[in-house]
Chain A
Amino acid sequence: MKRRTFLTAAGAAFVGLQIPIRNALADDKVIRFAMPQDFTRVYTFVTVEYSQGQRDYISLVNAKGGINGYQIVADISDHGNDLPRALEAYERAKAQGAILVDPLSTPVARALVQRAAADKINLITAYSGRSDAADGETFPYVFPLSPNYWTQAGLLIDYFRQQDGDLKGKKICFVHIDTPFGKEPIPILEALAAKQGFSLQTFPYTPPGNDQSAIWPQVRRAKPDWVVFWGAAVGQTVALTEAIRNGIPMNRVASSVWLSESDMDVVGRAQATGVLKVEPCASGQSPKIIQDIIKTVIEPAKGAGDRAKVGTAYYNYGVMMAALMIEGVRKAFEKAPNGPISGDWLNAGLNAISNFDAEGLIPPTTVTNTDHQGGGQCRIARWDGSKFVPATDWFSANQDVVWGEIKKSSAEYKASGK
């Protein structure tokens, strides 16, 4: 028909795009990671800081000469949480020879699970994706490398038990965003409620959660002993604000890993004092690794972003994930120093991470062929008005219940794909 103009444009784009791919493959002594992430839609609240941490850590490694003389190249792009874009980015990463993809988005991670397995590319799904991906036997190429939401819920309940001695007869309210992500911890909470004898009440709010004024009066009237709120971005700040307005004591309110300093700014730093969160890695600038980054990367002005963000919770999550990925590379070189560098090769390395604590930034983490979660250790931190202070040491809890759920769900997955 009449598609000449389109064809010319497509032809030009085609020629233009074909060249860089081939060039990239020609480079040697380079290990490629692809970080197509959501900078502009649902995950904006975390991505900028997370990505900044990742890039700064990779700069640190490269500044020290890389790993075995190999430089790490991270391709950052924006997929806007839109699947066709994410699939394009994934295919591009694959064509360019990336051996690891970190999409930081639950829908994207879910859509990539099967492709990654078929293409043997390691898919990092930290704090996103399928919780049952912790089962390395069913999902050999998917690595959460971080405590999944089931573990986080289990840790919170165990912390409550530690505080109150016994949860029998207590009431816990679970306020969550009404999406698959928000509903995820419910089976664990229900299992624990049955086991430990507390009563559980759930309150779903509709996404994005900018209006929860009808939820919290009900929570207040339920007179709970503990409140867990589960959401992300806007939903978190609104939940916390409403909790304050309804006079719920802050030191009985807790959330997952999705709570940051900037959320506290929005709610009001002083007013939020006491609120609890799950902390998968140390926050602040004091950990040695962050100090190294400041010295080697930030001070020579090679940082990837705003200096003020260095050491925030989400920045450190980024550093944590980059450190784990690179530890995987290191282990891969230990196992097969001559490569060839491939998804398979890195997979073996990631599975060999053992007792790695990133110089004190993260709990000792061991990844095995069966456990891609890395042990499920975290600590609970409390907001003191200016920063998150650890309230416990690294610990893991209720992993039996969590793994029961993981096995159940991954078995379902296995059964569904013939």
Chain B
Amino acid sequence: MDASLLLELAVNGAFIGMMYALVSAGIVLIYKTSGIANLAQGALAMTGAYMAWIGGTLIGLPIWVAAPLAAAVMFGIGALIERFAMRRMIGQPLIMAIMLTMGMEIMLRGLMPGILGASVKKIDIGIPNAPIILGDILINRTLLIGGLISFAMIVASILFFNSRLGVVMRAVSDDQTASWSVGIRVERAIAIAWGLSAVMATTAGVLWGATQGIDWSLSLLLIKALAIAILGGLDSIPGVLIAGIIVGLVESLATGIIDPIIGGGSRDLVASAIILITLLIRPHGLLGREHIERV
């Protein structure tokens, strides 16, 4: 096995892991405030990418205007989702609220391609395809930039949770009824979480959309993102970053090392094995907080 190939795979894998982690961070954001695993996160990424496409291609704005604009619109959409759907689920069994997000995922998957057309859309974010070559190693420029943007956004959200508003959001995630009882506007906190999460989804959607084109399949990002979120510990944003990099690295290396041996795409298999083993050793993910059990 060629060492420089492994290094190349490792570097690109780490960056792609960060891009996955950005989708996961949106899931964690909502989980941390409302205890709900948002199954519509992939669909939000898809919707955000479509929004950026509307701005960039339909209206003709430059991408650096269209993408932030799409993020702003998506913040509003996130807040509206809280207002008209999630708010009514407060105090209801969590699994039902999670199911609701799944209904939303199906709905968004029908809405955007239905209105804008199902064929793949192109979004150009102006990153040239020409790679950066360091000696024998090729670094994918899109992954590099995408990974760095993701990293920056994840760090920003870590800082956010240590602010005063962040403390309130964490309180809401612990006990919504108790939060209400001491005057916290639970709905507003959750709406902010949804809005921010939609912004992260939009960023992720645009980054991924630039590589694979925009169509419904962007919503499939959910599965991997959920896996990373759970591996990191559903309520830890640093955990997500670490888990994202681990999954990205391992998948990338597995493709290089194990695939030729077993003659099949071992990526998902290895990722699944890591998740299983981690959960058996650490049932709350890498950095997830432990459930405090009192009878």
A and B touch in the complex (CB under 8 A): yes
Footprint of B on A, CB under 8 Å? Answer: 39-41, 44-45, 47-49, 178, 202-208, 210-211, 213-215, 217-218, 220-221, 233-234, 237-238, 241, 244-247, 262-263, 265-266, 268, 271, 306, 309
Considering the complex, give the chain B residue whose CB is closest to the CB of A203: B259
Query: A214 touching B267 by the CB < 8 A rule?
Result: yes
Which residues of chain A come closer than 8 Å to B109, judged between CB atoms? 40
Bound CA–CA A220/B217 (angstroms) = 27
| Known interface pairs A214-B252, A238-B211, A266-B213; 12 further A-B residue pairs with C-beta atoms within 8 A, sorted by A's residue number | A44-B118, A48-B117, A204-B263, A210-B211, A213-B143, A214-B251, A214-B256, A238-B212, A245-B138, A263-B213, A266-B121, A306-B117
Q: B255 an interface residue at 8 Å Cβ cutoff?
A: yes
Q: B2 an interface residue at 8 Å Cβ cutoff?
A: yes
Query: A237 touching B212 by the CB < 8 A rule?
Result: yes
Which residues of chain A come closer than 8 Å to B215, judged between CB atoms? 44-45, 233-234
Cβ 8 A contact of B120, one of A45, A215, A309 = A45
Which applies to chain B's interface (DSSP): helix, strand, loop or mixed? helix
Bound CA–CA A247/B139 (angstroms) = 12
Known: A210-B217, A220-B138, A241-B129. A265 touches B113 (CB 8 A): no
Which residues 89-126 of B have a CB within 8 angstroms of A? 109-110, 113, 117-122, 124
**Residues of B in contact with A, size category:** 35 or more
Bound CA–CA A202/B9 (angstroms) = 18
> What are 17 A-B contacts with C-beta separation under 8 Å?
A44-B119, A49-B119, A178-B265, A206-B268, A213-B252, A214-B12, A217-B8, A217-B12, A218-B5, A233-B120, A234-B217, A237-B213, A245-B129, A245-B138, A246-B138, A247-B131, A262-B119
Query: A262 touching B220 by the CB < 8 A rule?
Result: no
Bound CA–CA A206/B5 (angstroms) = 20
Known: A210-B211, A217-B12. A266 touches B252 (CB 8 A): no
Bound CA–CA A260/B124 (angstroms) = 18
Q: B216 an interface residue at 8 Å Cβ cutoff?
A: yes
Which residues 1-44 of B have a CB within 8 angstroms of A? 2, 5, 8-9, 12-13, 16
Bound CA–CA A221/B6 (angstroms) = 12
Query: B122 touching A265 by the CB < 8 A rule?
Result: yes
Bound CA–CA A45/B119 (angstroms) = 6
User: Considering residues B9, B129, B212, B253, which has the most beta carbons from chain A within 10 angstroms of its beta carbon?
Assistant: B212
